[in-house]
Amino acid sequence: MFSFHVFEHQLARGFQNRFSTQYRCYSVSMLAGPNDRSDVEKGGKIIMPPSALDQLSRLNITYPMLFKLTNKNSDRMTHCGVLEFVADEGICYLPHWMMQNLLLEEGGLVQVESVNLMVATYSKFQPQSPDFLDITNPKAVLENALRNFACLTTGDVIAINYNEKIYELRVMETKPDKAVSIIECDMNVDFDAPLGYKEPERRPNHQDEPTAFTGSGNRLDGKTKGIEPSPAPIAPSDIKRGIPNYDFKIGRITFIRNSRPQPKKIVDDDDAMNRFIAFSGQGQSLRKKGRKP
């Protein structure tokens, strides 16, 4: 009986040390005040009323303060941290992406409970648009954006702001639990293929190989390309052998360039010298006839 009463007392004390209450939630754009609080939209933290800080300070709540948010109407839940305690009493302000995950409308009721989460060691994200591939270093961009988050919940679609553009990423997996704390942690990050991404079609290998000299080309002789002249048949009787030089004399070399005999012409020696034609098939003597050296 004694042990049972001790257990019951410790259980009741544990419930007393647990923060749990309901608030009406609104998006950050509804927050009254002159200051722009767009920084809340860039992270995963909420703004709570000052009474919540008073209650948390009286309880034995471990730091960092992490909370579980539950929409009992839709049975949707997520986890978050707290940014400030400046909201009106009975109201809390959430980032727009968090309200979408919880299926909450402006002024809807949300249950807020304090929780302790394990430190993250691994997480996997799936970009919700192929535009995320345009980022040069997505891991560095995500690491910088997650500094505004306190925890991650598997199944959530978080929103990050980069170069004045909003990118949505679904949390596909977290380790060692489905909800983890990412404050001061060494976490490995991985990515799935973006939603709607299609790999480029691969062509057959033979089409990828370059082909040299693909032009049509032209012949230098002006004839049509690809038509080779067919040689005319030659009869054995048409083949002529070389004509011997019967006037050959020792000490004189005559080059005959034409196989056909040329008609002999009787011309004066001086005339012959002046009318000499190179490579005509006729030899000429450098020594004029009738003159002695």
pLDDT tens, position by position, 62-72: 788 999 999 99
**Is residue 179, in this structure, part of any structural domain at all?**
yes
State the total domains in the chain: 2
Q: Transcribe 87-108 into DSSP letters.
A: SPTTEEEE-HHHHHHHTPPTTE
CATH number at residue 107: 2.40.40.50
Per-residue pLDDT tens over the stretch 200-257: 777 666 555 666 666 677 777 767 766 655 666 666 666 666 666 666 677 766 665 6
Same domain, residue pair 84 and 124: no
pLDDT digits (tens, 9 = 90+) for 98-113: 999 999 999 999 999 9
Note whether residue 278 is domain-resident: no
Domain boundary (87, 113, 139) is at 113
The DSSP string of 54-89 is: HHHHHTTPPSSPEEEEEETTTTEEEEEEEEES-SPT
For residue 128, the domain's CATH number is 3.10.330.10
100 and 124 housed in the same domain: no
Same domain (yes/no): 103, 148: no
Percentages helix, strand, coil for the chain (3-state, rounded to 5) are 25, 25, 50
Tell me which residue range forms the domain holding 156. 120-189
Q: Given 58, 85, 113, which residue is the final one in a domain?
A: 113
Same domain? For 76 and 93 the reply is yes
Residue 195 forms part of a structural domain? no
CB proximity list for 257: less than 8 A, separation 6 or greater: 279, 280, 281
Classify residue 61 as exposed, middle or buried by CB count within 10 Å of its CB (0-12, 13-18, 19+).
middle
Indicate whether 79 and 166 sit together in one domain: no
- Angle in degrees, CA 13, 85, 53, rounded to 5: 20
